[in-house]
Amino acid sequence: MNWRLSCILACWLPLAAHAVEVDPVPSVMWAFYHKQLLADAPFVFDARVKLLAPPFAEDARQVPLEIDARAFKGHVVRILAWAELNPLPKIVDFQPKEGVLPWLALRIRIEQATPLRAAVLTDDGIWHVGSALIDAAGGGCTAPSVVRSQPGWEEHLGEVLGGRYPRGEFSRVRVQVAHPMDNGLVSGIPEFFINHGQLRGQDDQVLAELELFPAVSENPNLAFDIEAPGPTRLVLRDNSGNEFDAAIP
Partner 1 sequence: MRWILLLCLGLSLPALADLDYALKPRLIAADTWLLEGSTDNFAKANGGNIVNTAFIVTEAGVVVIDTGPSRRYGEALRQAIAQVTPRPVIQVLITHHHPDHALGNQAFKDVPIGALADTTRLLHEQGDSLAENLYRMVGDWMRGTEVVLPTQALQPGVLSVGQHDLRLLALTGHTGADLAILDQRTGVLFTGDLVFYQRALTTPHSPGLAAWQADLDTLQALPWNLIVPGHGPVAADAQPFAQMRDYLGWLDQLLRDGAANGSDMAELIRSPIPERFAAINLSRYELTRSVSHLYPRYERAQMQRLDTRY
| Between 44 and 111, CB nearer to partner 1 | 111
161 touches partner 1 (CB under 8 A):
yes
Helix/strand number for the chain, H first, E second:
2, 17
Q: Are 217 and 132 in contact, with CB atoms under 8 Å apart?
A: no
**Main-chain dihedrals φ then ψ at residue 214, nearest 5 degrees:** -75, 10
Query: Would you say 19 or 178 has its CB closer to partner 1?
Result: 178
Q: How far is the CB of 213 from partner 1 (least distance, A)?
A: 19
**From 137, 150, 202, 229, residue interacting with partner 1 (rule: CB under 8 A):** 137
* Window contacting partner 1 (CB under 8 A); options: 4-12, 24-32, 46-54, 75-83: 46-54
| Cβ-Cβ contacts under 8 Å for 58 (sequence gap 6 or more) | none
| Three-state DSSP class for residue 35 | helix
Alpha helices by DSSP H, 22-120: 30-36
Kindly state whether residue 105 participates in binding partner 1, applying the rule CB under 8 A.
yes
Interacting residue with partner 1 among 19, 49, 53, 110 (CB under 8 A): 53
Q: Check residue 49 for interaction with partner 1 (CB under 8 A).
A: no
Write the binding mask 65 to 94 for partner 1: x where contact by CB under 8 A, - elsewhere: xx----------------------------
Q: Which residues, other chains included, contact 151 with Cβ-Cβ below 8 Å and sequence gap of 6+? A: none
Contacts of 192 (CB under 8 A, 6+ apart): 180, 181, 182, 238, 239, 240
Residues that bind partner 1 (CB under 8 A): 52-56, 58-59, 62, 64-66, 105, 107, 137, 158-165, 167, 172, 174-176, 221, 223, 234, 244-248
